[in-house]
Amino acid sequence: MTRTADTCTLVADIGGTNTRVALAEGATLRTDTVTRYKNTDYPGLETVLRAFIDAQGGLDCAGACIAIAGPVKDGRGTMTNLDWEIDEATLARATGADTACLLNDLQAQGHALGHLPDGAVTPLVRIEEPARDPKATKLVVGVGTGFNAAPVFETPWGRHVPPSESGHANLPVRAEDELRMIRHFETSHGFPAVEDMLSGRGFERVYSFLSAEAGTPSEARAADIMAGFEDGSDPVAARAAEMFVRMLGTVTGNLCLIQLPFGGVFFAGGVARAFSKHFATLGFAQAFRDKGRFAGFMGNFEVGLIEDDYAALTGCATYLAAKG
C-alpha cells in the first residue's frame, strides 16, 4: 500500500562508503526505518532510493532531502570518491516528492542542533557561564574522512546554515615542528590545506612525518596509530596524537574568532569522536585558547561532541519541516 504524502518525508545521508535512508514525520526522524546501503552495490542515487521505497511497500512523499559529504551548489552536489549523479532533479524523480532539497552534510548537522535526543551531545570544554541566548550563533566542525565546518545562525526568518569548504583553507602553523611537517608534505599543489592534516588520512601523514624525523620511517593506518597511542606501545603515535590535537585546537579556535559561536562548538565525525576522550590530556583546550591578547575571550566558547549517528538525517528532516 502506498502511504499518503500528508506527513511522510524521505531523508538520506550519503557518505563515501554507505548511504543511510529513512522516513521522517515532520521534524521527527523515524529511527525504525533507517536503512544502510553500500554505495558500491548500486550504480547511482536513484537506484538506492528506489530500493528503499520498494522495501517500504511504496511511498508518496511530501518532500525529500539528502545530505552529502561534499560541496553543494545550485542544487547539485559532488563527491570526490563517488561518481553518482547527485542533484535535486534526480532526488525528485526518484521519490516523486514535490519538494526536493540537497544539503552538505555539515549543513545537515547544523540543522539537527536542538532536535537531537537527550544525551546526544557530550561536553568536551566547559565554560563558566554557558550561553543563555538560544539564538546565539553555533558552529559545527566535522573531522572524519575530511574536514569541514558550518556556522549555524538563527534569524527572524528561521535557521540559516550556509555551506563552506573550510577544510581547504591553508593550514595555520604555530610551532617549528608543524613548519617542518608542512615543508615535508608541500607538493605541486602548494601549501597543505587543513584537511590534508586534520582528517583520518591527515593523522596518518602526521605519523609518517614524525616517524621519519625519529629515524624510523613507517606508514600505518589511522586506527593502528590510535591503538599504538592508546595502549602506550608506540611513542611516535603518542607524539602524532598530541600534534594532531594541538593543530585541531588551533584551527577550531581560529574558526571561533571568525564566526563567534557563543552558542557552542559541536564536533562531529569519526575522527573527532576517536580523539575527543583524549582532548584533556593532549592539550586541546590550551591550543584552542592560545590566541594572545584574546586568550581570555576564548573562554566564551563551549565545545561538545555530537554522538548521534543519525544527526544528519535528523537535520534533513528538520530542514524540510521548516520549509513547510
Q: Where are the domains of the chain?
A: 8-113+310-323, 166-306
The model carries a pTM of: 0.93
**Residues in the chain, total:** 324
Q: What proportion of the chain, given as a percentage, has pLDDT over 70? A: 96
Alpha carbon distance 188, 190 (integer Å):
5
CATH assignment of 8-113+310-323, among 3.40.50.2020, 3.40.630.30, 3.30.420.40, 3.10.20.30? 3.30.420.40
Q: Residue 284 pLDDT more than 90?
A: yes
Between 189 and 50, the more confident residue is 50
Taking each helix axis from N to C end, the angle separating 88-95 and 45-55, rounded to the nearest 10 degrees, works out to: 30
Residue tagged 517500504 (cell numbers): 56
**Domain 166-306 top-level CATH class:** alpha beta
Structure-block grid coordinates of residue 81: 570518491
| Residue pLDDT, tens place only, 212-226 | 999 999 999 999 999
Q: Do domains 8-113+310-323 and 166-306 have the same CATH topology?
A: no
Class of residue 283 by CB neighbours under 10 A (exposed 0-12, middle 13-18, buried 19+): middle
Average pLDDT over residues 106-123: 96
153, 160 Cβ separation under 8 angstroms: yes
Between 134 and 303, the more confident residue is 303
* pLDDT at res. 203: 98
Between 258 and 174, the more confident residue is 258
* pLDDT at res. 1: 41
Average pLDDT over residues 73-95: 88
Alpha carbon distance 159, 170 (integer Å):
29
Alpha carbon distance 266, 138 (integer Å):
8
For the chain, what is the mean pLDDT? 93
217, 208 Cβ separation under 8 angstroms: yes
282, 154 Cβ separation under 8 angstroms: no
| Residue pLDDT, tens place only, 69-79 | 888 999 999 88
| Residue pLDDT, tens place only, 140-192 | 999 998 999 999 999 999 999 999 999 999 999 989 999 999 998 886 567 89
DSSP code of 158? E
C-alpha dihedral, 252 to 188 to 105 to 258, nearest 10°: 30
| Residue pLDDT, tens place only, 194-214 | 999 999 999 999 999 999 999
Alpha carbon distance 194, 296 (integer Å):
25
- Give, in order, the Cα–Cα distances in Å from 110 to each of 71, 179, 318, 322: 15, 33, 10, 13
Confidence of residue 19 (pLDDT cuts 50, 70, 90): very high
